[in-house]
Structure 1
Amino acid sequence: MAKQHHYQLSSTTGKWTLAACIIASSMAFIDTSALNVVLPSLQEDLEATGTDLFWVLNSYLVMLSSLIIVGGSLGDKLGRVKIFQWGIILFIAASILCGLATTINQLIWFRILQGTGGALMIPGSLAIISATFSDQEKGKAIGTWSAATVLVTMGGPILGGALADIGLWRLIFFINVPLGIITVIMLFLKVPESKAPENKHRIDWKGAFFLAFSLATFTFGFLNIPELGISNIRSYLPLLIGIVSFGAFLYVEKKVEAPMMPLEIFKNLTFSGVNLLTFFLYAGLSAVMLFLSLNMIQIQGYTQMQAGLTFLPFTLLMALIARKVGALSDKWGSRNFLIVGPLVTAIGFVMLGLVGKTSGIEDFWTSFFPGILLFGLGMSITVVPLTSTVMLSIGNDQAGIASGVNNSITRISGTVINAILGAGAVFIFTVLVSNQVETLQLSSPLSNSIIQESINFGEAQVPSNVPSEHIRDVQQIYTTSFISTYRWVCYISAAMAILAAAFAVFMLKSRSK
């Protein structure tokens, strides 16, 4: 194939390429961040349980995390721009179907399709950037992409909250249509095609199947635990199948000629370290952002718009700091940034966990704001050095694989943590409610009806058969139980962020870039 030309960031081709990659990536990231805020409206309109909500998130993430590396490989083999375009088209079609869904089960299935489109789309952005820009400009281009996509992503909750408050949460999906069409046109007219040289291997569909199957069965097993218990066959059998399937995935990756996740790349200590850091940091971030949104809206009395606006400090910090941090990490190396950033994030998570019941939005500045400010600062310090380190640790010929592996690990972390903490949170919430209901000394049928409502988690409502003198008590039980559960999630997330920093300490070299 023809030699790939490299461009400057200031060139016309460079500007068009970066713009197209940012817009397309932002579509996928906005959907994820905005959904956290619109979940209460979605739950009410589609009559979903708490477990259903975690499936709405995980159905997308399972497909995204298991196929995203295949998407990167397809781009390397068939043309990165071509696969990027087809991913966007599929994502647009799936988004329209999500917006038209009339039942929670329909939405879950359409989210699976959307995740498939995202898997073809997301790895293409960084691979195209790596193939298009010169080595001197690559770090700056990746930094700009990282800052812009995270900035737009953090705007998702604001947009989602505004739409949900006026009953238009479905527009979160429809907004992808014009953005996607614009991007496809830009890619077709302005962005040069690129492939990995001499990439004649077949795509590893077998590995993709085993990874998707293992993630799906893990999710199914964990999310069944709160309702059925760990001893029920519908809980433990999927977990066992998931373990066996993941083992089969690793076996396939070791034996197949062209694995979707070449295990030998993990012999690179920097690449392994930064991906372990990615897994634990983004697992914590995913959990905190989800439960923080539910807490604010369902417990603290924020409107969905107000809850979305509370992430504005995060957005502003990313806009002000991220690119400057990228330039400094190019100069000094990324290791120290990847130690300090997760530690600051962990402190922010702890501070968020300390917040109890507040009086609502008027208490925001003295309750949630300090924690959001700190974890926003921590992530702003981390994002650009993290992305740059991933892409620069592996050669250009495997740019799609490197991007796909890191993006997949980001999504896998969200899938795993949503399943584990989602199940754990509903279980703990139910236990706490059950223990407190005993103190009311109500009849068994009445107590059971109160406890059964726990399956709705933050949307739990006082059953109609509760005597008027106990309504306030039951409401208080639901509130305190949710806040205790939320606090547990924040502390677990902080521990994961500290673990992420530890991987940077022990696995990244001092001059890692």
Structure 2
Amino acid sequence: MSDAAKVGGQVGARTGGVLAATCISTLVVNANTSAVSILLPAISEDTGTSVTTLQWAVTGYSLVGAAVIVTSGSLGDVFGRRRVFQLGLLLFVASCVMIALAGSGGMVIAGRVIQGAAGATILACGLSLLSVANSGDAQLRAVSLWGAAAAVGAAAGPLVGGVLVDVTGWQGLFWIDAGIAVLCMVLTALTVAESRDPDRPRTIDYAGTVLIALTLTPLILGVTKSGDWGWFSVATLGCFAISVGAAVAFVVVEGRVAVPLVDLALLRNRVLVGSTIAILIGAGTINGLMYLLSLYFQDPATLGFSPLQAGLATLPATVGLVVIAPLVPRLAAKIGGRQTIGLGFALTTAGFVLVGFVDASWLYPAFLLPLVAIAVGMGLSNGPASAAATAAVPENQVGGASGISNMARYVGAAVATALAATIYGNVIASRTAAGAVQGDALASGLAAAAWMMAIFSLLGVLMAVVMGRHRAAKGTLDDAAAAAAAVSFTLPTSATAGQTGSDRG
């Protein structure tokens, strides 16, 4: 961030208003994102669209978020952070209204795709606005509060969604969120000064944005439809071929543009690559888990929970993850970030293995131990992995490293949720066709998906072993807030400043 940009952002800015607008919007975006899985059965019943199809309301959001999260920050730097932030809020309002009025599943999915772009824009530009409106200790406090708001929103979303489905219908969440976003727009207009980065080249990597979407969309489509088309059908293989071709084109484009979406030189850093893969696995497995449990808990053939009961039932995973995360930086400072990440993924693996033995006769208490193990494990791995991403590079590359890790969260959520949904649906269909009762078929589907996520988590353990040494955060209060926010966004920590070459793995 240039000094000129900071000065421009501070002139006329009322920092209290900036803090309120960015924190409230971040809380709402994260709560909305984490609540949607709880709403899917109600949306399915209302629109007549299968839950299998509606998984695109989750994966489509993440897919577009992956493509937009870095680009929206660049747009803010060039065209004005407040202007792009306001555009993100406007898109969010429009998408909420579109979803609330939706009469079909396709309209819900389309609204969620737009919401993916809006949410990524609000997060990226909101944090930039907050950073340039404050300096020194005030900036640390403001960013820490922003991180806390992100964490609270992610944890509270499923419960809020469950409450609103019972009280207002599933549409209520989106009407309320639209209203709050409008208030944030007004607050931003009244209190936030415009800022830009005059030193940044004005070119935007639009091609990279398109190619990320073109890489992920056919990949997820091929995975999702593989049960109907066959893994080795022309359609499935064609999707994968398009995805590979787009990925190759993305690498070529990123090596040629003036300001690339992803600085490929950063990918030579073993610690950054390892931490990014760890973040991808963590985001993927928690999103896949929440999607599956939201469906399984509410199905009449299994536990038959109401949306509110399902929201309460997921609290050990969502709230546990956020509660344990702030305690982790001190542990990482004592035993090492790599060791903490490995321990976290080991616990997560154990939790998914336990879910892999699920039986139709299980009552809710049987899920508590694995849910707590998964929550604690993810809390242990998320924060140190996020801190390692920004600690592994020089100060002038922290923004690029943060962008890569934030993109990885969206990619992991999109791909893992699609995989989990596909495995769950295919196994249920296979077992039902073989004559199994519905409860047994659902349990088999959940078990198969859980084993897949256990394998991914085990890969996280191996990644922690090979990623190399890096400086761990000191365990300050700001580090605790960054660790709590790591479920949805990477924030710099005390490990980031003063990084030297000898500290990088």
Q: Residue 243 and residue 319 in structure 1: after superposition, are their counterparts in 2 closer, same or farther (change >3 A)?
A: closer
Letter matched to residue 378 of structure 1: G
Kindly provide the CA deviation profile for residues 337-380 of structure 1, in whole angstroms up to 9, marking residues without a partner as x: 32322322222222333332246xxx423x11112222222233
Distance 1:373 1:329 in 2: 20
Would you say the 8 A contact 1:131–1:396 is kept in 2?
no
Q: Which moved more, 1:421-430 or 1:135-144?
A: 135-144
> Which residue in the other structure is 1:108 paired with?
109
Distance 2:96 2:18 in 1: 24
Shift of the alpha carbon at 1:127?
3.8
Distance 2:19 2:375 in 1: 24
Q: Residue 61 and residue 26 in structure 1: after superposition, are their counterparts in 2 closer, same or farther (change >3 A)?
A: same
Shift of the alpha carbon at 1:387?
3.5
> Which residue in the other structure is 2:405 paired with?
406
Would you say the 8 A contact 1:288–1:349 is kept in 2?
no
Would you say the 8 A contact 1:346–1:375 is kept in 2?
yes
Q: Residue 390 and residue 144 in structure 1: after superposition, are their counterparts in 2 closer, same or farther (change >3 A)?
A: farther
> Which residue in the other structure is 2:276 paired with?
275
> Which residue in the other structure is 1:430 paired with?
429
Is 1:347 the equivalent of 2:350? yes
Q: For 1:118-137, list aligned pairs within 5 A.
A: 118-129=119-130, 131=132
TM-score, normalised with respect to structure 2:
0.83
Is 1:390 the equivalent of 2:389? yes
> Which residue in the other structure is 1:490 paired with?
450
Q: Secondary structure at the match of 1:511?
A: coil
Q: Secondary structure at the match of 1:35?
A: helix
Q: Secondary structure at the match of 1:200?
A: coil
Is 1:317 the equivalent of 2:316? no
Q: For 1:248-263, list aligned pairs within 5 A.
A: 248-263=249-264
Q: For 1:133-282, list aligned pairs within 5 A.
A: 144-166=145-167, 168-191=169-192, 193-196=194-197, 198-282=199-283
Distance 1:373 1:73 in 2: 39
Distance 1:133 1:495 in 2: 43
Kindly provide the CA deviation profile for residues 11-44 of structure 1, in whole angstroms up to 9, marking residues without a partner as x: x966654443332223332222211111111111
Shift of the alpha carbon at 1:2?
5.2
Kindly provide the CA deviation profile for residues 298-357 of structure 1, in whole angstroms up to 9, marking residues without a partner as x: 122111111100122345435544334346657876434323223222222223333322
> Which residue in the other structure is 2:476 paired with?
none
> Which residue in the other structure is 1:371 paired with?
370
Kindly provide the CA deviation profile for residues 47-104 of structure 1, in whole angstroms up to 9, marking residues without a partner as x: 1124312222222222111122211221233333332222122111111111111011
**Count of residues paired in the alignment:** 465
Superposition RMSD on alpha carbons, in Å? 2.9
Letter matched to residue 285 of structure 2: G
Would you say the 8 A contact 1:34–1:160 is kept in 2?
yes
Distance 1:341 1:18 in 2: 32
Give the gaps of 5 or more residues in structure 2: 8-12, 473-494, 496-505
> Which residue in the other structure is 1:300 paired with?
303
Would you say the 8 A contact 2:303–2:364 is kept in 1?
no
Q: Which moved more, 1:123-132 or 1:33-42?
A: 123-132
Is 1:92 the equivalent of 2:52? no
Would you say the 8 A contact 1:351–1:371 is kept in 2?
yes
Q: Residue 347 and residue 297 in structure 1: after superposition, are their counterparts in 2 closer, same or farther (change >3 A)?
A: same
Would you say the 8 A contact 1:140–1:326 is kept in 2?
no
Distance 1:342 1:306 in 2: 28
Higher Cα Rg: structure 1 or 2? 1
Shift of the alpha carbon at 1:213?
1.6
Kindly provide the CA deviation profile for residues 98-149 of structure 1, in whole angstroms up to 9, marking residues without a partner as x: 1111011122222222222223222224444555555667676655544432
Kindly provide the CA deviation profile for residues 382-419 of structure 1, in whole angstroms up to 9, marking residues without a partner as x: 44434444344456655654443222211111111223
Shift of the alpha carbon at 1:261?
1.4
Distance 1:81 1:336 in 2: 40
Distance 1:72 1:391 in 2: 17
Would you say the 8 A contact 1:222–1:423 is kept in 2?
yes
> Which residue in the other structure is 2:466 paired with?
506
Q: Residue 484 and residue 372 in structure 1: after superposition, are their counterparts in 2 closer, same or farther (change >3 A)?
A: same
TM-score, normalised with respect to structure 1:
0.82
Would you say the 8 A contact 2:297–2:304 is kept in 1?
yes
Shift of the alpha carbon at 1:295?
1.0
Q: Residue 132 and residue 391 in structure 1: after superposition, are their counterparts in 2 closer, same or farther (change >3 A)?
A: farther
Give the gaps of 5 or more residues in structure 1: 7-11, 438-475
Distance 1:257 1:414 in 2: 29
Q: Residue 504 and residue 72 in structure 1: after superposition, are their counterparts in 2 closer, same or farther (change >3 A)?
A: farther
Shift of the alpha carbon at 1:190?
4.1
Letter matched to residue 267 of structure 1: R
